[in-house]
A = this chain, B = another copy of it.
């Protein structure tokens, strides 16, 4: 990710890290260890970053208020990563072996629950309105997981269904991070709404870029092998667009429809997708959502924090990991 989006909130993000560490501290050292295995492995901290920048961008001053909530979003995000890896059989995550591979499904599942609880505890100190926003975003995540599971290896998945899935899976939680940050910062209705929409579009841009990188990313930079979405039967935008494009598309589609895909089949599909019009169109779509996110910032007064949000929207579509 490009450098500077978070330079204006370095101190806040440091405090968020401390708060996260405090939250996952447990007498059961293994629970802390599994939690930190995931949290400490270098995530991009987009959710807490968006919370803090939104808080600051609407004029929030008393920074201690937003630290807890920013930590809550990262804790909940980490919980979902652990449970997702169990569900996908994801072997690697951020360059390290995934939690369930290292500690077993049972302990990883419990550690995920623990992180959920800690996230809700951190979020719960801000009253019912905040709890409602967080819980609704989490419920949407679960719902979109169910939609996704209905479309495993489904080569007829539509772009609309894809957008519905990633809206729930990635965009709603980032929208929630922005809204709650702005709410705690004392933002007006208009500003809260604007930052929420910023977060939603940022999330869509982010996820589409993720899906593009799963096809053409550099594995050593990504920290995991390419082609996992294809292998797992997860429909993504570049894939859906590529499948609908001519002769190669029909071949990709046939491979995608297979319940079990051999490594050489995944490799062949990746090569075809990398050269496809679909990949470029997906990149373009991510850039559109990124621009839309930036446009949503129009009502927000100028500040270094607004600049940070703008840089972040650019960075997510230009990143290599």
Binding site for B on A (CB under 8 A): 26-28, 30-31, 79-80, 83, 86-87, 105-107, 109-114, 116-118, 120-121, 123-128, 131-132, 135-136, 138-139, 141-143, 145-147, 149
Asked if A147 and B105 make an inter-chain contact with CB atoms under 8 angstroms apart, the answer reads no
What CA separation (Å) do A142 and B112 show in the bound complex?
9
| Pairwise interchain contact A118-B135, C-beta atoms closer than 8 A | yes
In the complex, which residues of chain B have a beta carbon less than 8 angstroms from the beta carbon of A111? 142
> What are the residues of chain B within 8 A of A26 when measuring CB–CB?
139, 143
Give the CA-CA distance A94 to B118 in the complex, in Å.
30
Cα–Cα distance between A135 and B118 once the two chains are bound (Å): 7
Considering only CB atoms, which chain B residue lies closest to A79 in the complex? B113
**Contact among B110, B127, B149 for A146, CB-based, below 8 A:** B110
Is there contact, CB below 8 Å, between A139 and B125? Answer: no
* A118 contact from B27, B30, B110, B139, Cβ within 8 A: B139
- Which one of B27, B109, B126, B128 contacts A125 once the chains associate, using CB atoms below 8 Å? B128
Give the distance in Å from the alpha carbon of A113 to the alpha carbon of B79 in the complex. Answer: 10
Q: Considering the chains assembled together, what is the distance between the CA atoms of A27 and B205 in angstroms?
A: 25
- CA A114 to CA B117, docked complex, whole Å: 13
Q: Is the CB of A124 within 8 A of B116?
A: no
Q: Does A107 lie within 8 Å of B138, measured CB to CB?
A: no
Say whether A113 contacts B116, CB under 8 Å. Answer: yes
A28-B147, A87-B110, A131-B131 known; A142 vs B117 contact (CB < 8 Å):
yes
Complex A-B: 26 CB contacts under 8 Å: A26-B139, A26-B143, A80-B113, A83-B110, A83-B113, A87-B106, A87-B109, A107-B146, A107-B149, A109-B109, A110-B142, A113-B141, A113-B142, A114-B142, A116-B116, A116-B117, A120-B120, A120-B124, A120-B131, A120-B135, A121-B136, A123-B124, A124-B124, A124-B131, A125-B128, A127-B127
